[in-house]
Each structure stands twice: as C-alpha cells, then as structure tokens.
Chain A
Amino acid sequence: MTSQLPFFLAHIWLLPMFPLVTAAAMLFFGRKLKNDAINVLCAGSVFISFIFSAGSFLQLLSLPQDNRIAINVLFEWLPAVPFHMLDGGLANFVADWGFQLDPLSAVMILVVTGVGFLIHVYATGYMAHEGGYYRFFGYLNLFMFAMLMLVLANNFLLLFVGWEGVGTCSYLLIGFYFHKKSASDAGKKAFIVNRIGDAAFLLGIFMTSALLGTMRFADIGPALAKGNFEVGDPRIVAIALLFFVGATGKSAQIPLYVWLPDAMEGPTPVSALIHAATMVTAGVYMVTRTSAIYVLAPSALAVVAIVGAITALFAASMGVVQTDIKKVLAYSTVSQLGYMFLACGVGAFTAGIFHLMTHAFFKGLLFLAAGSVIHALSGEQDMRKMGALSKKIPITYWTMLIATLAIAGIFPFAGFLSKDLILGKAYEKDALLWAIGYFTAGMTAFYMFRLIFMTFHGESRVDHEVEHHIHESPRSMLIPLVILAALSIAGGWVAWPEILGGNSVFIRFLEPVVAVPHELRAEAAKGVSSRMGEIGLMLLSEGLVVCGILAAWYLYIKRTNLPQMIANRLGWFYRLVYNKYYTDELYDSLFVNRAKDLGLALGAFDRTVIDGAGVNGAGWLTRFISKVSMWWDTWIVDGSVRFGARVVWLLSIPVRMIQDGLVQSYMLLVVIGLIGFLAYYFHIAHQAMH
C-alpha cells in the first residue's frame, strides 16, 4: 500500500521521528553543545517536520475527496491475540505502530508543527539566558514527538502512547524550574489530575475493544455499522462518556481543569505551546476522531455541550478578576476550550476543530506577547504594576492587540469567524446553550481588553528600577509574534462562511472525516437556516463584544478607581470569584487530603504491623532462636560432654581410693592378690591330684 503513495504520504512515519532524534541528541550530549548548535538542531528538526507536514498536506489534496486517507504501518507492535467481545464474537487484539493521515490529522500536524516551530524560534530568544537550555529544548522536542504521535496514530493504543507522552512532557516542562517549590508542585498537580482523566480514557479504550473488537480508527465505522447499535445504546453512551472524562483531564474542562492555571509556573514558551496551542487541544481532537461513537450517543453529546458551555462561562468569570497576566490567559484558554467542546457537543465537530486552529494562532500569540512583556519588564507578571507600555514596546503591543481583537471576536479576524460558527450551530441546537456562549463572548472581550488596557495603557504603575530597563525583545522573539499576528488576522479566512459569500473550504475539507449526528443530517438536508438569522446572530455578537470593550475602557482607562469600588460593593461574591470559587480548597479537602490520610494510615500500618511483627518480629524471633540454641548448646550438647566426664569421674572414685600413696595399703592388695592366686592354684593342683 505504502509503495503506491507519493513521497510524503509514504513517509508519514518520519514526521514524529525528527524531533525524537534531536530530543535523544539533547539527552546524550546536549550538555556539551553551545546554544547556537542546540537552536539549529532542535528548531531545525521541528522545521523539517513542518516541511513534511506541508508536503503531506499538499499530496493529500491530490487524492480524491472521498478517499483522502493514507496509512503507514511500520510494524505490528502487538501481534494478534484473539479474545472474546462483549457479544461473544471472536476478535483479534492487534495494535500496530501505524500512522494515519487524513484531513483531520493533516490539520492537526500543520498546526502543531507550524505553531510549534514558531514557538521554538521564540524560545531561542526567550530562554537565551536561562540555565538548562539543552534540557528545555530536549523536553520541548520530546513533547513535539509525543504530540505528533498522538495526532498521527491510527489506533487507540498508539494515541494513548502519545497522550501519556504529552502529559509527561507537560509535567517535565511545567516543573522546569524545579528548584521552585511552586513549580514542581504545579507539575505534580498537572500530572496527577491528568491521570484521573487518563484512567477513564483507558477504560473507554478497553470497552471499545471489547464491544467493537477493534482499536483502529478506520475500523470503528464499519464495526459500528455491523454491530447494529441503536442510537442511545447505553454501552456506547458509556464509552463516549469515559472518553469525555479523559478529554476533560487533558483539555482542562470542569471538573479537571484545576491544573491549567497552576501550569503557568512553567516558562512562557511552554505555556504558549502546550497549554494554548497543542496539548490542551488533544481532547478536542480525540472527541472529533471518535465522532462516529458520539453521534450514536446523543445524551453523551449533550453532556459534552453542557460541560463545555458551563466551563466557558465559569472560567471567563475567574479570568475577569485575575491580576497575573498569564493567569488571565490561562483561564481564557479553559474558557475557549469550553467553546470547542460546546461545538462538538452540538454536533459541529468541524467548527470545534476550526476554533482549535484559530485559537492556536491567537492564543499562542497572546502567550508569546505576554512573554515579551514580561521579558521587557524584567520578570514582572502582575498587571497592577504595568501600564503605559504601548509606546515603549510597540511591536509587542500591536501584535498583542491584534490577538486580542481576534479572541474578542471582531470581524474579520480569525476568532470572530470560528466563534461565530460555533454560536450559530449552538443556536440551532439549543437557545440556552447559545445564550451561555453569547454572554461568555461578551465577558471574553471584557477581560481581554481589560488586560490590554491595564498592561499597555493608562498611567505607568511600573517599578522604578524596572522602568529603566524596559526594552523591546530581540528579533528571534518578535518575528514569530508578527507571523502569528498575520495568521490571527487571516487564519480564519479558509472557512469564510457561505452567507458572506465564502466557500468554507476548511469545513468542507474536514467533513468526510467526521460523523454527523442524525438530526443534523436532517437539518443539512433541509438547508441552512435563514440567512437573515445567521447575520442577525453575528450582529448581536458584535454588539455585545463592542459593549464589553467599552466597559473595559471605561473601568480601566476612564474611571480607574471604579473597579475597586465595585469589588468592595460585591464583597463576598467578589472574594468568591477572586479565590477561584475555592475549588482547589474543595478538592484538597475531598480528595487530596483523604489520599494523604490513606497514605499516612498505610504508613502507620507499615510501621507497626509490618515493621513490628515482620521486621522487628523477625529480629525478635532470631534472637529468641539464638537463645534457645544457646540453651541447647550449653545444657544438652555440653551436658552430654560433661555427663561423660562425670561418669568417668564417678567411676574413678573407687579407683582413686586405692591409690592413697601408702605402701602398706598396696601391700595389703598384694596379699589379697596372693590369697586369690593361691586359692586358684591350689584348686587346680587339687584337681590334678584327684
């Protein structure tokens, strides 16, 4: 099969290998390399992967539209092991090291390698003066390898390998400054919370295998058809929900989102790459990849939509009151991910992926620009100590402004097109969901422009020493900003909606790969809802967004004492939101401390029972046995020896009496002997005579 494919498609498997090789190089001799060499190697390998991604994409386009799929199987990782499915049928458990390129994974690899490459270039400037340079890039490349494995896998197991890999790299990179306790704690928190989701994901994979007999994505569709599953079959619903729990862990939705704000302890390029553009989108990718299962479980889809919407609102509310620039962006990410899941939940998987792509552009840009601001301010991250920077760091300012316009959803920036597509699809499904998304969009605009105004405008609240050192970032950091800004403007134009005269190429491109829920099929056949309705919705969104921007301007430029007054008036409610609704404290008391208690209890058990009875007991037993042995040796063994000696002594007593040293007693014995001898002699003689 592979020999008939064109070059790039035949060598899909090489894509993840380039960063893997450089990561290994960093492991083995990264310490000895100079920074320049590391830059060339690590950013270079990602660039090569990007070239391959672009080449594969172009060659994929040359395939016919209904069969745009290319599969490379390198080798059979787990050869076939037969097992019984849930319904008794016999299936083969096979897992290959196989790669699948179809429109969905093509989009993902372009985003991952493209944005990843830009962030690598940025990091060469940002991390230039940090220690552990080779370690950072080694981890970063390892992450690229794992992420590419995740999106290119052709079966669940290999996807899970990448899934775990990105989780591990996230832990390594969040805790990069491991000397700081808060950083290493954040790394631990990310990994542990992720693990909870992973457990559910794994159960979902098992159930899929047991129910459908296959792990390959390409085989799921046929297996579902053959199994004749009803819509809403509880087993399918269970699988879908389990997968979604895994997605909430990786993509930071309620209830497993708590690690993402803490993950801001990592260096800013890490936040940009992993926690904005790539890793957190793995959940959305996974749900889209398994859309065939989800469309058979409408109740699960409803859960997805509801959780996504509520998360979006919830996170946005927390983003409004944050004072750390990166924390605002973190909550914003959680909120935008909620939008993506909302899209999937209402059946518009393609809209979710579209928003994923545009979000990678503007959120990545936002993080990088925030990093540039922090760099300019010599490490300051608190927005209350910023202000009036727009003239001093102009390129950073303008690129960040572009990204903020995109995320707020101003026409015709990328964020507007993707977010509006989602809101449109949500409105078709359920007005309440649309309302939540609508209100959240307004909040998004508000808090993002709050960020801009507090950071770049108004009076300077910067510390005096910091003020002297304000400088624009080096070119290695600025060029990626500019490129991402261009993408934030134009990146959404690939899906220019039809009602505005566009072609929606992007959506069409993805459609063959995702399943469509049944009711939506009927809708699609009916045709899109009225043009006026859609344009009306767009105008409504724009109106709310402008209101949000104006509110931010009013509060943070015009009347800057107002926010504090409002906070005081709101009192306990403000404190509740400011403290993140105390979710961390809640989780601590419910789960974390209970787990610690279990650990302590087991530790106590170990000390008293195992160590007491086992180890100390063994010690006591050994000493006891040695005492018994000593007793035995002293009394029995020595005793028998001494007994023998005592017998000899007793026997010798009469003999001793005889040897008294007196000659006359010896003479007496002689006489006694003589008497005896004579008696015997005379007896013989007597006998001889007669």
Chain B
Amino acid sequence: MIPTEAYLILSLALFTIGVVGVLTRRNVIIVLMSIELILNAVNINLVAFSRHFGSVDGQVFAIFIITDAAAEAAVGLGIILAFFRNRETVLADEMDMLKW
C-alpha cells in the first residue's frame, strides 16, 4: 500500500507547479491550463483522502470539481476568444485596461 502522504506530496508538487504557471506565464491560455493543473492536484488530494478514510465522499467532491472545471474552462476560453477578437493579443501583460 502506498502511504497517503506520498499522494499528498504529489498533489502538493502539482499544485506548486500550477501556481508557478499561473503567476509566471504571459500567455493566458497557458495560465488557464495551469489552473486546470491546480484543480487536478486538488482532485488527487481529495481522492487520496477518500481512500484513507474509506468513503466515496472525496470522489464525489472530485467529480463536482471536474464539472466545475469544465464549465469554467468553457467560459474562460470564450472570454479569451472575445478578447482576442478585440485586441489581437493573448498576452496577460497587454490586458491592463482596468488599471488606474
């Protein structure tokens, strides 16, 4: 049996990589993909604890998270498309119209 903490560390690693991706990349599509990565890391965490405690609640939660991720990805990509049509850019640095 793999101890639960191994899965937790894996989840932490993926989460960290995802955070780095969100904070660091200029291309917003990569940022969105990094967000998916973060959500995935959380899923791993939930499922690991689901097996640790022997109930399916964690997995149910994970399903809902996947649902949510899908919805959010759809809307987010729609926004990116709309923005791209207006401003011809997908770089986060150039999306600063709401500044002071």
Chain A contacts to B: CB under 8 angstroms: 656, 659-664, 667-668, 671
- Is there an interface contact between B22 and A656, defined as CB atoms closer than 8 Å? no
Would you call B88 an interface residue if the criterion is a C-beta within 8 Å of the partner chain's C-beta atoms? no
Residue among B31, B92, B97, B100 with max Cβ neighbours from chain A (10 Å): B100
A660 to B, closest residue via Cβ: B99
Interface string of B68-100 (1 = CB under 8 A from A): 000000000000000000000000110111111
Q: Are A661 and B98 in contact (CB under 8 A)?
A: yes
CB-based contact B100/A664 at 8 Å: no
A667 touches B23 (CB 8 A): yes
B19 within 8 A of A: yes
Let me know if A661 and B99 touch, CB within 8 A. yes
**Contact call A662/B23, Cβ cutoff below 8 A:** no
Contact B22 A661 (CB under 8 A): no
The reply to whether B97 and A667 form a contact with Cβ atoms under 8 Å apart is no
**Complex Cα–Cα for A410 and B12 (A):** 160
Partner of B93, one of A656, A662, A671: A662
- B96 interface neighbour in A660, A667, A671, Cβ under 8 Å: A660
Inter-chain contact A659/B100, CB cutoff 8 Å: yes
| Minimum CB distance partner of A663 in chain B | B92
**Is the CB–CB distance between A662 and B96 below 8 Å?**
yes
Please name the residue on chain A nearest to B26 by beta carbon. Answer: A664
Q: Complex Cα distance A89/B95, Å? A: 115
Contact B100 A656 (CB under 8 A): yes
> Are A661 and B19 in contact, with the CB atoms below 8 A?
no
Question: Could you list 19 A-B pairs, sorted by A, with CB under 8 Å?
Answer: A656-B100, A659-B99, A659-B100, A660-B99, A661-B96, A661-B97, A661-B99, A662-B92, A662-B95, A662-B99, A663-B31, A663-B92, A663-B95, A664-B31, A664-B92, A667-B22, A667-B23, A668-B23, A671-B23
Residue of B nearest to A652 (CB): B100
Partner of A661, one of B23, B24, B95: B95
Complex CA gap A664/B24 in Å reads 8
Q: Contact residue range for chain B? A: 10 to 19
- Name the residue on A nearest B93 (C-beta): A662
Chain B CB within 10 A, most for which of A659, A660, A663, A671 = A663
B25 (CB) vs chain A CBs: closest residue: A664
Partner of B23, one of A659, A660, A664: A664
Please measure, in the bound complex, the distance between the C-alpha atom of A668 and the C-alpha atom of B99, giving whole angstroms.
Answer: 16
Residue in chain B with minimal CB distance to A668: B23
Whole-angstrom CA separation of A662 from B31 in the bound complex: 13
Nearest A residue to B35, CB-CB: A667
Which of B22, B97, B98, B99 is the one whose CB lies under 8 Å from A664? B22
A668 to B100 CA separation, bound complex (whole angstroms): 18
Given A662-B93, A667-B23, 19 additional A-B pairs, CB 8 A: A656-B100, A659-B100, A660-B96, A660-B99, A661-B95, A661-B96, A661-B97, A661-B98, A662-B92, A662-B95, A662-B96, A663-B92, A663-B95, A664-B22, A664-B23, A664-B92, A667-B22, A668-B23, A671-B19
Query: What residues of chain A lie closer than 8 Å to B99, measured between beta carbons?
Result: 659-662
Contacts of A667 in B (CB 8 A): 22-23
Collect the chain A residues with CB atoms within 8 Å of residue B92's CB.
Answer: 662-664
Q: Which 7 A-B pairs have the closest CB atoms?
A: A661-B99, A661-B96, A661-B98, A656-B100, A660-B99, A659-B100, A664-B92
Name the B residues within 8 Å of A661 (CB-CB).
95-99
Report the nearest A residue to B19, measured CB to CB: A671
Identity of the chain B residue whose Cβ is nearest the Cβ of A656 in the assembled complex: B100
CB closest residue in chain A, given B98:
A661
B83 to chain A, nearest CB (A): 11
**Least Cβ–Cβ distance between B5 and chain A, in angstroms:** 17
Give the nearest-CB partner of B92 in chain A.
A664
Interchain nearest-CB distance for B70 vs A (Å): 21
**Chain A residue at smallest Cβ distance from B31:** A664
CB neighbours (8 Å) of B19 from chain A are 671
Q: Which residues of A contact B97 (CB under 8 A)?
A: 661
For A659, the closest partner residue in chain B by CB is B100
Closest chain-A Cβ to B67's Cβ sits at a distance in Å of 23
Please give, as numbers and ranges, the residues of chain A lying within 8 Å of B31 by CB-CB distance.
Answer: 663-664
Q: Which residues of A contact B96 (CB under 8 A)?
A: 660-662
Q: Report how far A656 CA is from B99 CA in the complex, Å.
A: 8
A36 to B95 CA separation, bound complex (whole angstroms): 113
CB distance from B85 to the nearest CB of A (A): 19
**Distance A661 CA – B93 CA, assembled complex (angstroms):** 9
Say how far B19's CB is from chain A's closest CB, in angstroms: 6
Kindly provide the distance from the CB of B28 to the nearest chain A CB, expressed in whole angstroms: 8
Q: How far is the CB of B2 from chain A (nearest CB, A)?
A: 26
Provide the residues of chain B in CB contact with A663, threshold 8 Å: 31, 92, 95
Proximity string of chain B (1-31) to chain A, C-beta cutoff 8 Å, 1 when within and 0 when not = 0000000000000000001001110000001
Instruction: Provide the bound-state CA to CA distance between A656 and B96, in Å.
Output: 13
CA distance A663 to B28 in the complex (A): 10
A656 CB contacts on chain B under 8 angstroms: 100
Q: Give complex CA distance A464, B97 in Å.
A: 116
Interface string of B27-40 (1 = CB under 8 A from A): 00001000000000
A662 to B28, CA, bound (A): 11
Q: Bound state CA distance, A59 and B23, in angstroms?
A: 139
Residues of chain B contacted by A668 (CB below 8 angstroms): 23
CA of A438 to CA of B95, assembled, Å: 134
Chain A residue numbers with a CB within 8 Å of B22 are 664, 667
Min CB distance A668 to B, Å, is 6
Q: A656–B100 Cα gap in the complex (Å)?
A: 7
